[in-house]
Amino acid sequence: MRKIWAIIGISSVLYSCKTKQEVVTLPEITVETKKEIHSTPRTYYAAYTRKADLIHTKLDIQLNWDSCFVIGKANLKVKPYFYSINELELDAKGFEIKEIKINNTKANYVYDNYKLKINLGRTYTNTESFDVYIDYIAKPNKIKVKGSAAITSDKGFYFINADGKNPKVPKQFWTQGETESNSCWFPTIESGSERHSQEISITVDKKWVTLSNGRLVYSTNNSDGTRTDYWKQELSHTPYLTLLAGGDFSIYKDKWRNLEVNYYMEPKFAPYAKQIFGNTPEMIEFYSNKLGFTYPWDKYSQIVVREFVSGAMENTGAVTFFDGMNMTDRDLIDGNNEEIIAHELFHHWFGDLVTCESWPNLPLNESFATYGEYLWNEYKYGRYEADRAAQNDLNAYLSTAKNKRVNMIRYELDNREEMFDANSYQKGGRILHMLRKYVGDDAFFASLKKYLNTYQYKPVEIHHLRLVFEEVTGEDLNWFFNQWFLASGHPELEISYDYDDTKKQSIVTIQQTQDLAKNPLYKLPLDVDIYSNGKRERTRITLDSLKQTFSFASNTKPDLINVDAEKMIVGTKKDNHSKEEWMYMFNNAPLYLDRYESMTALDKHKTDSLVQLQYIKALNDSIYSIRISALNKIKDFNESNKKSAYQKVKELALKDEKSSVRARAAKVLADNYKSENNQAIFEKLANEQSFSVLSSMIKIYADIDSTKAYAIAKKEENADNFTILGAIAELYSKNNNKSYNQFYLNTLNKSSGFDAVFILPYYKNYIKKMDDETIKSSLPSLKEVAMSSNAGFIKSSVKMVLKEAQSASKDEALKKEIDDLINSFEKK
Ligand SMILES: [Zn+2]
């Protein structure tokens, strides 16, 4: 699964919903998150005890759209796991059970709305299997929605726009199993250690297409205008990966080797399917080769659905995506969401083929999928780009770690959803990278190949991974796994340097300054690069004490000693380099992260003219994020350096290949070169197609020539891109003209899922200036947004707007109406 907050960045760096953007920042949003409860004793979260072994699931599914019911007939093949059994316990949430048979004989059962206990009529030993038939109606909408930070709802089966009354949202259905929600629509054993093969027949309107795991074996047209599709997957996977989806989708047919690779898009977005998903075949080829394990499943389909509860989900061969993937060529100018495509595909080895046996072991799925993003970036776009994204991951983890330090593998949990956090994803991805750097590429990928071959179609826990790495490398790796996977926190290092001229020695002192009550004392193998006389020499050291000194023979004082030269440490470093050493590092060390660390450290010398000259050089950097960082430094430049940078900034605004750089450069021109005549540049940028650039131009013109800002806003008011709609919402919020209210209402009405979050903070500022009549007219749309979204943070954003409107209003009845409205969606 790829969490939505990792994509749209509710917690840290903000991404736009349509495309990645690093320059968008929103005003404050209050996000109501669940409080971590640590005062009550936590319980050991054991893996599911396997009494029965589910072998095969056959489902016949019909849908009742009036009541949003799933009418199902399930045929399960089951056998005792080891010990004999006379009762079978299944997960089935909120069902109406019509009939149950065991081997064609009517069976007795007990059902409490969650667990179904079936009396088997006699005792079965593990050498015999039995058939279970269940005739049932599942009522997913009647199940109480719990929700969490990672997944915003857990009712398993979703009827979208069921009554067809919303003209903006197509009617469709889809399922979401992880963590334990597929039992909301079919009876099963919901555990990562369980695996089943499956057959599903689904009947839909014949205009529609359907998607499930495995192959579409046949379709039958029925006399009543419906069609029945029959899907079959013979390879086994865990029940949370079972998917069923359908609706009015166009299918773009692509291919990898001889396998079908299909992209299911709404017809409107189908022309862009190839641009959005087109690298998929190359990714499958790359991962198959890199892992030495050929993609094992029947096909690879990707479907973009509406109102999805997460970012994306790795259902075997049938991946679901949130509607942020509905992009047009204009959206794609600003970038795509390719990392999420890579993430879900990599799960097909780590998660789908080899599956974590219990939620505490979730990093075996998610850390790998996150690292899959790194591997793809590294292969396709180079190490610079991979490291750039990996640094964002590290920053996201470090920001989480300020309030939450927990073990990666957490056996004690209040709630399994806690596992879906920056530890399991970002920190875990970086730990795997560190493991790769420690054992070396050959050993790392040989270990992964062995792990996949040994545990294919099986559940795993963290020790399985360690044992494989130990077998391949011949080294006891408990120390690595204990401190990184079975402990919490990270090292905090302070690094100091000295040179002994008489002994001709360079001295590096490294201290571990983390609080040892909350973090381990780490054993850290580190590569150290010593730069002297234009040469670079690498040594590996191992830090394993609180404070340690390392000496290196050196005839002269080195220009730079680069500790952690591979930039692999998951932690923080206070590196006491001099200004000159940081500048040397920027100019001579090879990695993007050398330059990133150097630029970050040089910030404390930002008024130094030499450092500013260094930043001017950085405006030419090959990595766009370094160019953006350098642009951000110009505000602190002295007049003379500002002047020297001007030509380059203009060039970046006009010609940089990245729209985010052009957008940033334009803003820097407006903010820092007010006395220059930049009109011609702005005019040209204001005619660009890039939403990112146009958003920047709205902000720029708002300050210098508001007529032009409003002209762009007017022209783009109906765009489907929430980056530009956010910029327009911000512009209009500065105004108290009642006529703009319609823009907010239209935009909120067309938002589905998460994108309202880009509008609501600005609407809050606008609505407080409105009269009672305007406030009243906005209530139905706000209610609709709050009610239709499964996301808790959308509801809290709507509440924030309503509270603002309420305090602005003078009408007591209206105030009461607002209270009632808030109560109505908070209760839902
Ligand atoms: Zn994932």
What's the whole-number mean pLDDT along residues 653-676? 97
What tens digit of pLDDT does each residue of 251-265 get?
999 999 999 999 999
Q: Kindly tell me the number of DSSP H helices and DSSP E strands found in the chain.
A: 26, 31
CA of 425 to the centre of ligand 1 (A): 8
* Percent of the chain's residues with pLDDT above 70: 93
What is residue 27's predicted lDDT score, i.e. its pLDDT? 38
How much distance in Å is there from the Cα of 375 to the middle of ligand 1?
15
pLDDT digits (tens, 9 = 90+) for 236-253: 999 999 999 999 999 999
* Average of per-residue pLDDT across 522-533: 97
Split at pLDDT 50, 70, 90, the class of 790 is: low
How close is the Cα of 347 to the center of ligand 1, in Å? 7
Beta strands at 300-304 and 318-321: parallel, antiparallel or unpaired: parallel
**DSSP calls for 756-824:** GGGTHHHHHHHHTTS-HHHHHHHHHHHHHHHHH---HHHHHHHHHHHHHHHHH---HHHHHHHHHHHHH
Token code pair at residue 635:
């505000």
Q: How far apart are CA 156 and CA 174, in angstroms?
A: 8
Q: How far is the CA of 366 from the centre of ligand 1 (A)?
A: 5
Span from the CA of 733 to the centroid of ligand 1 (angstroms): 37
| pLDDT tens digits along 172-186 | 999 999 999 999 999
Tell how far the Cα of 424 is from the centroid of ligand 1, in angstroms.
9
Q: From the CA of 559, how far away is ligand 1's center (Å)?
A: 43
Cα 501 to middle of ligand 1, angstroms: 53
pLDDT at residue number 754: 74
**pLDDT of amino acid 15:** 30
Higher pLDDT, 760 or 27: 760
Rounded to the nearest angstrom, the distance between the alpha carbon of 314 and the centre of ligand 1 is 7
Centre of ligand 1 to C-alpha 583, Å, is 38
Q: How far is the centre of ligand 1, averaged over its atoms, from the C-alpha of 2 (Å)?
A: 4
Residue 432: is its pLDDT beyond 80?
Answer: yes
Q: Which of 460, 465, 490 is nearest to 400 (CA)?
A: 490
Query: What pLDDT is attached to residue 309?
Result: 85
pLDDT at site 307: 87
CA 653 / ligand 1 centre spacing (Å): 36
Tell me the CA–centroid distance for residue 351 and ligand 1, in Å.
Answer: 8
Mean pLDDT of 538-556: 96
> Measured in angstroms, how far is the CA atom of residue 345 from the centroid of ligand 1?
9
- 367 compared with 404, residue with greater pLDDT: 367
Above pLDDT 90, what percent of the chain?
Answer: 86
Q: How far is the CA of 430 from the centre of ligand 1 (A)?
A: 15
Query: What distance in angstroms lies between residue 365's CA and the mean position of ligand 1's atoms?
Result: 7
Residue 558 has pLDDT above 50, yes or no: yes
* Position 191 pLDDT exceeds 90: yes
Among the residue ranges 139-148, 683-692, 750-759, the one predicted with the least confidence is 139-148
| Average pLDDT for 560-581 | 98
So what's the pLDDT on residue 501?
Answer: 96
Cα 792 to middle of ligand 1, angstroms: 21
Residues 6 or more apart whose CB falls under 8 angstroms from that of 465 comprise: 364, 451, 481
Q: Distances from the Cα of 281 to the Cαs of 103, 112, 216, 242, 275, in angstroms?
A: 44, 46, 20, 23, 13
Split at pLDDT 50, 70, 90, the class of 421 is very high
> Six-digit token pair at 294?
């050929």
Report how far ligand 1's centroid is from the alpha carbon of 1 (Å).
3
pLDDT at 759: 93
Average per-residue pLDDT for the chain: 92
Q: How many whole angstroms from 94 Cα to the centroid of ligand 1? A: 27
Looking at this protein, which amino acid is placed at residue 616? I
pLDDT of 144 reads: 66
In the reported structure, the alpha carbon of residue 324 is separated from the centroid of ligand 1 by a whole-number distance in angstroms of 16
How far is ligand 1, taken at its centre, from the CA of residue 362, in Å?
9
Q: Region 327-350: what's the mean pLDDT?
A: 96
* Cα 350 to ligand 1 centroid, rounded to whole Å: 9
| 708 CB-contact burial (10 Å; exposed 0-12 / middle 13-18 / buried 19+) | middle
Contact indicator for 301, 255 with CB cutoff of 8 Å: no
Region 203-211: mean pLDDT is 97
pLDDT at 520 over 60: yes
Kindly tell me if the per-residue pLDDT of 647 is higher than 60: yes
Backbone angles phi and psi of 254, in degrees to 5? -115, -175
* Residue 438 pLDDT grade (very low, low, confident, very high; cuts 50, 70, 90): very high
Pick the range with the lowest mean pLDDT from 60-64, 632-636, 656-660, 822-826: 822-826
Please give the distance, rounded to the nearest whole angstrom, from the Cα atom of residue 241 to the centre of ligand 1. Answer: 12
For residues 649-675, give the mean pLDDT. Answer: 97
Report residue 828's pLDDT band, with 50, 70 and 90 as the boundaries: low
- Reduced to 3 states (helix: H, G, I; strand: E, B; else coil), residue 87 is strand
Residue found under tokens 């000194």: 549
342 pLDDT above the threshold of 70: yes
Å from CA of 320 to ligand 1 middle: 12
CA geometry: angle at 401 spanning 396 and 404, to 5°? Answer: 125
Rounded distance from Cα 313 to ligand 1 centre (Å): 7
- What pLDDT does residue 749 have? 84
Q: What is the pTM of this model?
A: 0.93
Partnered with residue 118 across adjacent β-strands are 88, 109
What mean pLDDT do residues 211-227 have? 97
What would the mean pLDDT of 550-558 be, rounded to a whole number? 95
- Beta bridge partner(s), residue 607: none
Give the least confident one: 166-170, 357-361, 566-570, 693-697. 166-170
Rounded distance from Cα 363 to ligand 1 centre (Å): 9
Q: What is the pLDDT of residue 16?
A: 30
Q: How far is the CA of 370 from the centre of ligand 1 (A)?
A: 7
Diameter of the chain by CA atoms?
96
Answer whether residue 35 shows pLDDT above 70: no
CA of residue 791 to ligand 1 center, whole Å: 19
CA 477, chain centre distance (Å): 30
